[in-house]
Amino acid sequence: MLAFHTLALCSLLVTSAWSAEPRILPDFGLVDLTGKKHNPAAAKDNRIVVYVYVSIDCPIANFYQPTLRKLAQKFEKQGVRFYQIHSDPDLTPKAARKHTRDFDVVSPVILDPTQKLARAYKAKVTPEVHAITRDGSCIYRGRIDDTYTAFGKRRPEPTTRDLDAALTATLAGKKIEVPVTEAIGCQIFIED
Amino acid sequence: MTKHLAPLLLLALATPLAAKVTFNEHIAPLVHQNCTGCHRPEQSGPFSLITYRDVKKRSRTIEEVLLDRYMPPWKPVNTNIHFANDRRLSEKEIKLFSAWVEDGAPEGDPGKTPKSPEYPSGWYLGEPDLVVTMSGQFDIPAEGKDIYRSFVFPLQLSEDKWVKAVELRPKAKSAVHHALFFIDTDGQARKRDGSDGKAGISGMGFLREADPSAAFNGSGGLGGHVPGATPAKLPGDLAMFLPKGSDVVMQTHFHPSGKKETEQAELALYFADKAPVNNLVAIQIPPVFGATKNINIPAGEKNYIVEDSFTIPVPVTAVLVGGHAHYLCRNMKMTATLPGEKEMVLLNISDWDLDWQDRYHFEKPIDFPAGTVLKTRLVYDNSAGNPENPFSPPRRVRWGRQSTDEMGSVTLTVVPKGKSQGDLIAKAQRQQLFSGANKAIEQARKTFFNVKGYDRNKDGLVQEDEIPQRMRNRILTRFDKNQDRVLDAEEQPALQEYLNGILGGRVRSRAR
């Protein structure tokens, strides 16, 4: 019930970054491509978990891989953990491993063939990021930055780096200016 | 009995969409016809769209890109002219797809599963007459800005050839956005190839100082490679001239795709048996991509217009049209007005995108009598509201060859009757080009090269801030003898003499 409560809030999104209500980040029993188990709430030094919904063949998601690597490295020491989630019932571990190598992915890569994560957090597209604090509050949801303004419309440089700004603000104990944005990308197909 | 059936029958006929839309019956033919050409293994599309599962899984994304008109990529919005290579879907086809998605994307009768479309293996146009490989390999980084780079394909032809078609096989399929082919007749590109330590020549402009119209003349080029465009041979006996000893230069636009890739493309050439009776002639308006139109777009300007026109001196048959501009251009239009008739729109692109430069082949070639007036109108948006603006905040942008400079023109490729007629078109274009250049020089003579013109407050003195910024320090160091940061009546004549010297040099180099 508690997990359901926090999830509902997450998908609706809370605007206050730090809620006084005691909650926990649910354990989805995540296993990465190397077989390692992950329960982000159990590790004490995790302050924020960022679930990034990706795909091996969405050009927009792939375009962001170098940016995601830099963000994961930039915030690692401050206790921010990035996880790349493939919510694709057809994806084989072999294809995912090739993608991980080709795009030099440094974060743990999680296959979500039953799509429990995508369903729970109502993820819509790849790439879409959900930044969640240890207490289960979803502090930011949406795009990584505003490089893409529409399909095929790409700025030479982003003018706002929304995920970076949200993480920076939260770590500094400040309010996030824009906690929800619309991610542009490829729709995640949810099996019936 | 029939009395009761008739209305039902009518109802069924009137609402065809009321029948269940299924993949096997309706969607597969639509997708196979319009998407699968690129969206299949080893092609430019990022994923395959062949089977029911492929299409069902991506049905919502496909619907979005159809409604957005991002896919299939097709820029012209002309309604009066039909293009042979048209890829635009009709409203009805898009509605059909939406209806299918709305209904849960059903597969339909399993007995009616359509066969996957078949494509020729190897080169699309069959066995080529010549296959050449790009000189050197070029590494494309995983990230960063778009890259424009020209590569040389050495041909080593010992005789003149006429080219019916070219077909490109890029290696870096997800990074190569498009490519244009030019002919280098004197080995200049080969000399510059690799001069920065990497294969190819940096930048957008393989535009030659000496004779820009020759290097960029459509009749001197070999067309382009656009993902998804089907290679096709020129109709009838038409062919593009490829002189012996020349090289092909491929100007390539790369989008870094998120992973490192390496390019070393192969190019297939298909030759004609003999020279065509009539040559192809490219009429570019404005000529040299607007170099003489003094393109100078202030920061923030939303609606900067460049217009030019050209009167065709001889009767011609128009076969294809295409445009070129950089990031700030929004709209691009070419019209033709036949003597005594109303204007007709030949090309209308309302949402110009540098990423999708194509050449549009008229379904039926159009005859134009002598005296037909061609007009081009280009609209540029240099405001912050244009997401493709390469500068944030916006900066003043002038004509130039770098992707962050601007240029623009629309090129109509025509077939005149006989070679002498083609020469007349080239002559008329040259005359217009030089008169345009002369006008630009005249304008510069009045402003930039005129000391009196600097004196905006008309006090007889040229204050520091009245000197064009780019030359300010140089001018003051040299001509401000008393070092008071003001050029007085005694100091001005020396500067004017110096400016006359620069201008004279420019005039001479242009006339050469």
Tell me which H or E stretch contains A60: helix A59-63
Q: How far are the Cα atoms of B199, B295, B385, B386, B469 from residue A159, in angstroms, in the given order?
A: 33, 27, 12, 12, 29
Residue A162 lies in a domain: yes
Tell me, yes or no, if A8 comes closer than 8 A to chain B by beta carbon. Answer: no
> What are the structure tokens assigned to B178, written together?
């498009």
Residue A192 lies in a domain: no
pLDDT tens, A33-68?
999 999 887 777 889 999 999 999 999 999 999 999
CATH number at residue B217: 2.60.120
pLDDT tens, B461-509?
999 888 877 778 888 888 999 989 999 999 999 888 888 777 665 444 3
Contacts across the A-B interface (CB distance below 8 Å)? 67
- B267 in the same domain as B289: no
Residue A70 lies in a domain: yes
CATH number at residue B381: 2.60.120.230
pLDDT tens, B11-66?
444 445 557 999 999 999 999 999 998 899 888 889 999 999 999 999 999 999 99
For residue B437, what is the DSSP state?
A: H
Name the E strands within B94-220.
130-133, 138-140, 147-154, 161-169, 176-184, 201-202
Q: At what angle do helices B419-446 and B492-511 cross, to 10 degrees?
A: 170
Tell me, yes or no, if A18 comes closer than 8 A to chain B by beta carbon. Answer: no
Total domains in chain A come to 1
Predicted complex ipTM: 0.89
Residue B213 lies in a domain: yes
CATH number at residue B493: 1.10.238
Residue B464 lies in a domain: yes
Per-residue confidence (pLDDT) for residue A132, from 0 to 100 = 93
**Are the beta carbons of A156 and B256 separated by less than 8 Å?**
no
Name chain B contacts of A90, Cβ cutoff 8 Å. 53, 57
**Are the beta carbons of B65 and A58 separated by less than 8 Å?**
no
B151: containing domain: 130-271
Task: Determine the residue among B49, B51, B259, B392 to mutate to test chain A binding: the one whose Cβ has the most chain A Cβ atoms within 10 Å.
Answer: B259
Alpha carbon A126 to chain centroid, angstroms? 10
Q: How far are the Cα atoms of A63, A102, A106, B260, B355 from residue A66, in angstroms, in the given order?
A: 7, 11, 10, 10, 22
Which residues does B95 contact at the CB level (< 8 Å), separation at least 6? B17
**Are the beta carbons of A59 and B46 separated by less than 8 Å?**
yes
Tell me, yes or no, if A4 comes closer than 8 A to chain B by beta carbon. Answer: no
- B385 in the same domain as B292: yes
Q: What b/e sequence results for B4-29 when a residue is b if at least 16 CB atoms lie within 10 Å of its CB, and e otherwise?
A: eeeeeeeeeeeeeeeeebbbbbbbbe
Residue A137 lies in a domain: yes
**Who among A62, A152, A157 is closest to B257 (CB)?**
A62
**Are the beta carbons of B257 and A157 separated by less than 8 Å?**
no
The whole model's pTM is what?
Answer: 0.80
**pLDDT of B354 above 70:** yes
- B361 in the same domain as B236: no
Which residues does B170 contact at the CB level (< 8 Å), separation at least 6? B176, B179, B225, B263, B265
Residue B82 lies in a domain: yes
CATH number at residue A88: 3.40.30.10
pLDDT tens, B409-460?
999 999 998 778 888 888 888 887 777 667 777 777 777 778 888 888 889 8
**Who among A57, A65, A67 is closest to B47 (CB)?**
A57
Per-residue confidence (pLDDT) for residue A86, from 0 to 100 = 98
SS percent in chain B: helix, strand, coil, step 5 = 30, 25, 45
Q: How far are the Cα atoms of A162, A164, A174, A175, A181 from residue A178, in angstroms, in the given order?
A: 7, 11, 12, 9, 7
Q: Which residue of B has its CA nearest to A88?
A: B57
d(CA A44, nearest CA chain B) in Å: 33
Total domains in chain B come to 4
